[in-house]
A and B are shown apart, each in its own frame.
Chain A
Amino acid sequence: DAKTTQPTSMDCAEGRAANLPCNHSTISGNEYVYWYRQIHSQGPQYIIHGLKNNETNEMASLIITEDRKSSTLILPHATLRDTAVYYCIVKGASNTGKLIFGQGTTLQVKP
């Protein structure tokens, strides 16, 4: 599975959009990009995932560049409850099903 690079930390004002970048320059054609977040050592919460096209759900939007070497998770209207560690994970067709969690981005939403 391809390695991902994320900024260590980011701040965002409450009510504003939070844009979290992720670099995955070695991604291969059949690998998906997943985003999870973890709040205070709770279980990782699934946010969104995608392969090539941009994706949107009730939580967030995922923008994947045309060359698939990077992506951005967008939380459209961040709230204080969105303060968490956000993990960008690339997962391929591995029969172990393993998700490789890096250090993630600590997003601090401020009033």
Chain B
Amino acid sequence: NAGVTQTPKFQVLKTGQSMTLQCAQDMNHEYMSWYRQDPGMGLRLIHYSVGAGITDQGEVPNGYNVSRSTTEDFPLRLLSAAPSQTSVYFCASTMTAYSGNTIYFGEGSWLTVV
């Protein structure tokens, strides 16, 4: 049981490049989400998914795209990277979005856009 796995751990991009951050969980969780954390700040929700084939926007979705073709995977795509997207990205999963379930986080992906 690996929990929530994120790749890559570190990435440097040039402005305008695109890339995909990968997130996988092996706990058969329906709910998965992506957060970003900027220096000295709390986590902010980017996108989330309540099940395969269903995604929705969080509070900071601009510049990011997601899809959920399987229960296990929830990739986050940066369409055209900007310096403002330099951040640490965390993927999270839980059984369902509702209260009472334990929410697990990945170890993070550090992204620098130059």
Interface residues of A (CB under 8 A from B): 30-32, 34, 36, 41-46, 49, 51, 87, 91-104
Contacts and interface: CB of A to CB of B under 8 A. Distances in A.
B10 interface: no
Contacts of A34: 103
**Of listed B37, B48, B98, B104, residue having the most chain A CB within 10 A:** B98
B99 A30 contact: yes
Contacts of B71: none
B43 A32 contact: no
A103 B43 CA distance: 10
Contact of A96 (B58, B92, B100, B106): B58
B66 interface: no
A44 B97 contact: no
8 contacts: A44-B105, A49-B102, A51-B99, A93-B98, A96-B56, A97-B31, A97-B33, A97-B94
